[in-house]
Amino acid sequence: MSDPLSPAARTSPSTARNRDPILEILRTRLPENGLVLEVAAGTGEHAVHFAAALPTLQYQPTDADPGALDSIAAWREHAGLGNLLCPLVLDASQPDTWPVERADAVLAINMIHISPWTATAGLMAGAARVLHPSAGLFLYGPFIEGDTPTAPSNIEFDQSLRRRNVEWGIRHLDHLVALAATHGLGLSERLTMPANNLVLVFRKT
């Protein structure tokens, strides 16, 4: 029986909409066993959903925000899943300080457009360091592609992000691919998702 949900638990409306489409991508691309490292796990709702659906994998949620860590811990306690590990402090922009040495997959959902570019650079560097050969870095969110018209909703979203913080904004796919290449990561898949989002899968080359 699960424990009562603590008031520290946060909720995100977008999670209920995107968790199942993301899960279907992960089901067919994650290894049967191993450790999944989620960077910027936020509320912790994705972590609970994925850990419950993929019980043979160990799932390690992380975040840099104390409130997010409290929320993840609350959801974890409520779910009572043995394969969902205690949340750890991880600052994506500081890859040399990551508390995980090896991972079989790294996952970041809706992170890189609401953080400075230094966080994305750190994410690429950290993923390249901890991933096994051929293991994947999975990014979910909106992206700008040079050869594909940007949806009006994403243009408006990008503008609103930049008004909130000049270091935020929807990232260009070409810039991500170039950055990843400097860390030995190549784009292996570009997967179309609902609501003008993508899943990008980078693997060690």
Cβ proximity of 47 and 59 under 8 Å:
yes
Q: How confident is the model at residue 170 (pLDDT cuts 50, 70, 90)?
A: very high
Section 167-178 average pLDDT: 98
In this predicted structure, what is the pLDDT of residue 90?
A: 99
Helix H, strand E, coil C: the string for 106-121 is EEEECCHHHCCHHHHH
Helix H, strand E, coil C: the string for the chain is CCCCCCCCCCCCHHHHHHHHHHHHHHHCCCCCCEEEEEECCCCCHHHHHHHHHCCCEEEEEEECCHHHHHHHHHHHHHHCCCCECCCEECCCCCHHHCCCCCEEEEEEECCHHHCCHHHHHHHHHHHHHHEEEEEEEEEEECEECCCCCCCHHHHHHHHHHHHHCCCCCCEEHHHHHHHHHHCCEEEEEEEEECCCEEEEEEEEC
In this predicted structure, what is the pLDDT of residue 65?
A: 98
pLDDT at 72 over 80: yes
In this predicted structure, what is the pLDDT of residue 3?
A: 76
pLDDT at 183 over 60: yes
In this predicted structure, what is the pLDDT of residue 2?
A: 65
Give φ, ψ of 147 to 5 degrees. Answer: -100, 10
- According to CATH, what is the number of the domain 17-141? 3.40.50.150
Averaged pLDDT score across all residues of the chain: 96
**Amino acid letter, 100:** V
- Tens digits of residue pLDDT in 89-98: 999 999 999 9
pLDDT at 83 over 70: yes
- Tens digits of residue pLDDT in 97-128: 999 999 999 999 999 999 999 999 999 999 99
What are the domain boundaries of the chain?
17-141
Q: How many CB atoms lie within 10 A of CB 123?
A: 26
Q: Report the predicted TM-score, pTM, of the whole model to 2 decimal places.
A: 0.96
As given in the structure block, the two tokens for residue 6 are 């603590």
Q: Which of 35, 27, 80 shows the shortest CA–CA distance to 62?
A: 35
As given in the structure block, the two tokens for residue 117 are 């570019």
pLDDT at 174 over 70: yes
pLDDT at 1 over 60: no
In terms of phi and psi (left: phi > 0; alpha: psi -120 to 50; beta: otherwise), the region of 111 is alpha
In this predicted structure, what is the pLDDT of residue 205?
A: 82
